Structure 1
């Protein structure tokens, strides 16, 4: 039997459930409850300006996602239609698809920390110095180009409806792990799934916690690929070099601006390439060392 191919119009006409949209009132309510509890308990988990900034970033991102729906659907459908095989839409295909998407989310997330170009599409999620459920809304306005990381999922042949529903489930899972109120869970859960404890480590700017725990739904990828770090002392959140602003535009584009400046000031194509695609941690260390050397030279003069 010949494989059924799909167009974007066909998928849109199916009126797929927007799970994230349905969950939005619940998420907003939980943010409000967590905020009120932390205020009454005099915890430092929330900052009003930071939360408003996160809300603005999240709302714009939702609008952009809706506007780019045809493009993102089109990319996935193009590659799904390329291959002659398909995986039927059955209960077990949803499980397999979530695992396969999660594997690629791990690598997309890891590349987003280890390559400066992709870091610029992700840094917005990390530039808050607080850790609460509102931080889950801080998704970069340029993150949508990450759709290319999920082309292998489309090429595997998962039914487009299965893919789009599973991807929403994966994104929705990220919400609950952004809290300090949930401590460590029973060992089997902590061993297999990404939990608030794991993700607090990931959001830390402490040296021992940097570039760890990339897993989205499953933490097993970090255990397999050597990027796992258990939570020990309470993390310090935010970037190693704070942005010190609540402006949503700056929070979304400050790294792109810095890349432009560094590439423009590069003395060779090799240096320019390094400034655009090198390791953010390595580039930051090099820039710090250069500044210290310049200061030492100035003092010696």
Structure 2
């Protein structure tokens, strides 16, 4: 088995195992952690971010390795001691990247995606912005300049990512002595709270010591209320990624001073120009003025249809991670293959179109069924043209055609039922 394939399969199994375990524990504790639309939106954001990272991470690692070999004044040898230093240095940089992402609007425009959900569970880990891919470079290039090679930086990224699976859990209580120096689920729940007393605290990823050193630490004394203060009510990963940018551009356009137009992007989220108010909140309230928890009602049959199609999309996403040979430091990297490989382009197209179509189905918007029918036809077409020369084309293409055909028939059934329901309501 290809090493990268093994890593991907192992990672997927770890994530699935963790999700099942958290769901089981939550059921025992009678906690509601997962809502279908929210979890799928989280995964959709994650797939979009990874698709962009797939293209850029190879170039970034290539650049980091070049800096390590040709610019860094000293190349750090790797041993147990320097690995500890590398993880500490990476976590320190991650703290400041995270903190500044809450304090500077053009950075917050990317990081806000991670905070939009009013739930907190393991799928929240995957809710990340595609723009964060660009920003990470400027914070972690210092590792390469300090003398750490690209592999070390990549491994530190994976360690931090895996640790976040642990910190995003709601079923784990306080952990005694570990609360003193590690970022625990309790600490990170605080960070995701929109409660005024909790906001802008606990930025650390692995070691909570950075918050304690720089004065941003606070204990959890009650479970927070999650989400962003302005609310976000969409299951569309594209809206999630671009909504705050739209907010900033609208305010920058309306304000008269040139300096204020710039400050809209460089000041913090609480600031707005004197001549332009903040845009209206998105959340709804009840008759008493209390905020209503965002929830998209989805029938069992529609939920089953969407969930199975998300599984197909995730299969395409996983295949994308496997198809391309990863860059190894010291080797020539054929950058042009990223943009000319038909299999890669087909899989990217399938994932990006599917993310959009799944959101339309969840929100049950106008033309959602037609958009999803188009997605299924495109999936069959791209699979045929991109993979017809592959050794396993003799089973892949028929299987994809049958599965999409069945889904198309199911979609027609859903459309007929929806039409009958609308007719009854109209009558």
TM-score (norm 1): 0.85
Deviations 1:60-88 (A, max 9, x none): 22222222222211332243231231110
For residue 18 of structure 1, report the CA deviation from its aligned partner: 8.2
Aligned to 1:185: 175
The structure whose RCO (Cα within 8 Å, separation 6+) is larger is: 1
Range with greater deviation from structure 2 (200-209 or 239-248): 239-248
**Distance (whole Å) between structure 2 residues aligned to residue 190 and residue 103 of structure 1:** 18
Aligned to 2:53: 65
Secondary structure, in 3 states, of the residue corresponding to 1:88? coil
Range with greater deviation from structure 2 (25-34 or 105-114): 25-34
Question: 1:88 touches 1:159 (CA, 8 Å); kept in 2?
Answer: no
In the alignment, is residue 116 of structure 1 matched against residue 105 of structure 2?
A: yes
Aligned to 1:245: 234
**Distance (whole Å) between structure 2 residues aligned to residue 215 and residue 233 of structure 1:** 20
Structure 2 unmatched runs, 5+: 281-427
Say if 1:186 and 1:41 are closer, same or farther in 2 by CA, change over 3 A.
closer
Larger radius of gyration: 2
Question: 1:194 touches 1:216 (CA, 8 Å); kept in 2?
Answer: yes
Deviations 1:77-131 (A, max 9, x none): 2432312311102121111100000000000000000000000111110000001
Question: 1:54 touches 1:134 (CA, 8 Å); kept in 2?
Answer: yes
Aligned to 1:49: 37
**Distance (whole Å) between structure 1 residues aligned to residue 160 and residue 111 of structure 2:** 17
Pairing 1:1-301 to 2, within 5 Å after superposition: 22-39=10-27, 41-80=29-68, 81-145=70-134, 146-187=136-177, 189-283=178-272
Q: CA RMSD in A?
A: 2.4
Say if 1:21 and 1:120 are closer, same or farther in 2 by CA, change over 3 A.
farther
Question: 1:212 touches 1:229 (CA, 8 Å); kept in 2?
Answer: yes
**Distance (whole Å) between structure 1 residues aligned to residue 243 and residue 179 of structure 2:** 35
**Distance (whole Å) between structure 1 residues aligned to residue 17 and residue 235 of structure 2:** 23
Question: 2:65 touches 2:149 (CA, 8 Å); kept in 1?
Answer: no
Say if 1:112 and 1:106 are closer, same or farther in 2 by CA, change over 3 A.
same
Structure 1 unmatched runs, 5+: 1-14, 292-301
For residue 175 of structure 1, report the CA deviation from its aligned partner: 1.2
